[in-house]
Structure 1
Amino acid sequence: MDVADLKTFEAVVRHGSMNKAAQELHTVQSNVTARIQALEQELGVALFQRHARGVNATPAGQRILPFVARISKLLAEAESAAKDDGTPHGVLTLGSLETTMALRLSPALSGFARNYPDVRLVIRSGTTEGLIRQVVENQLDGAFVAGPIDHPEIAQERVFTEELVLVTSQAIQTLKDLPKTPGLRTIVFQLGCSYRQRLETILAGMGIVTAKPLEFGSLDTIINCVAAGIGVTLLPRGVVAAAAENARINVHALPRNRAWVETLFIRRHEAYVSSALKAFVAMAREDQSGGSKHD
């Protein structure tokens, strides 16, 4: 299989269109069609189903797609390794929980940009579940996620430890008030967020049944909704410290076995660790003193 054919295949899958893939690849549609037909002939299976609006990958096409991403990543890593003389440079694409980005990574981001101007740093936020998937699928060089995790393709190391607290409006003075709150709702990030799962477990342990959760993608929106009395959430203490000091919310400590969670840095086991990646993780570790004394 030719690498160019595989890149063409990936572009067609992503766009669902031979024409749009051709535009991205700066070629004509007939060249894209020819490459796909040659790849299908070599493999002996149809990779796309044609229809009036474009194309969809067949089950066979869907099965080889992860390998295409892996091959592309390996080629990029080989080039990066050849050019890596120990001085951080190139593109570094990382993922992070939004809470970790807000609480922990801001100093590292500014310091890294200042010290390593030859690195183009890209940070994508997401849930733990989503970030793990993106690392496994070679879409990220690494990510900061909430532990514990157990994945055979993932190498991990603890970077931070966070104290999680239950966050409510000021109308709820103690945790004993929660069961008395009618129509209690949780305010959470989207499905796949480990804090969300932990919150549901904590409330269930208190015998509290909640209504359907409200999902938001913004940390500020979650805090504002909780402050307005719409529901409750679970977040690192450091993230909500300012809102608590301004008397917008109440923060409730939890038993230690429920409160403490490790933030892990993860990457694929066999992935090449570039000088840029080593430098960023080292800087993030150095800046962790700004967090909990339990780190």
Structure 2
Amino acid sequence: MRSLLLSRRDLDFLLNDWLQVEKLTSRPRFAAHDRDTFAAVLDLAEEVATEHFAPHRKLSDAHEPVFDGERVHLPAEVGEALRVLAGTGMIGAAMDESVGGMQLPQVVAQACFLWLHAANVGTAAYPFLTVANANLLLAHGSPEQVDTWVRPMVEGRFTGTMCLSEPQAGSSLSDVTTRAEARPDGTYRVTGTKMWISGGDHELSENIVHLVLARIPGSPPGVRGISLFVVPRFLMAADGAVGERNDVVLAGLNHKMGYRGTVNTLLNFGEGRFTTGGEPGAVGYLVGEPGQGLAQMFHMMNEARVG
């Protein structure tokens, strides 16, 4: 049956006749694939989009996320669709096999994600943000950060966000005031407020990996003084299990036109509601070198379709 979401005929023409993606299989990275595997994964993406994302598009648009003061409530169909997607392995479609990815060409992976976006922009925002978050950490994070945060995101167990804007600064990132103070154990304590954070709080995943722009005291003014930190919703236990709650607190929900089905949040870091080791501040982990935060964040900003 002809899809009402996209024209598969047009997509096949673009990939095979115009871009000739099969030629990419001559490269060692894509040698395990051929035109048939590309077609199979596109078939799978169309199936997931049609059967699991599209049916609740109107429902999630009409019933925005609701915050009852303790937790965010979303239609059950959102979580069910994301669980199906996680089971397909498509979250890591273009990522290395070494981290659990399919190692598909980026152009084929984007064609797969196109089906999800066409089916339900609100639900698709969660995996899109997660993929971009994971790709940033693959490019700039340490091996330990990749093992701790990226692998669970590829598996669909964790989701990811980007935390840039602040209420007093808006999109003027040189004016962010969120602070990150170093601790002897190599971690940082992050305090501040971030605004317009898509996917910032929900019960759709075991954990939420926030990538947060913040200033280390003594850093230069302006964008040169901005660093990037992983600040998870839950800390990880020594055995690799999800552990205690980090001091990341949902202060309220925003309403974002065009993405009504995506929870959009105001987050307080280091509010004091949850304390770790009796110290104030949310526990954060520096990504890369100090002062490189904005340049690193552009890796995600240029990829993610929502903020």
**TM norm. shorter chain > 0.5:** no
Higher normalized helix content (fraction of residues): 1
Tell me which interval the TM-score lies in, with the shorter structure as reference length: under 0.3
TM-score (norm 2): 0.27
Higher relative contact order (CA 8 A, sep 6+): 1
Structure with max Cα Rg: 1
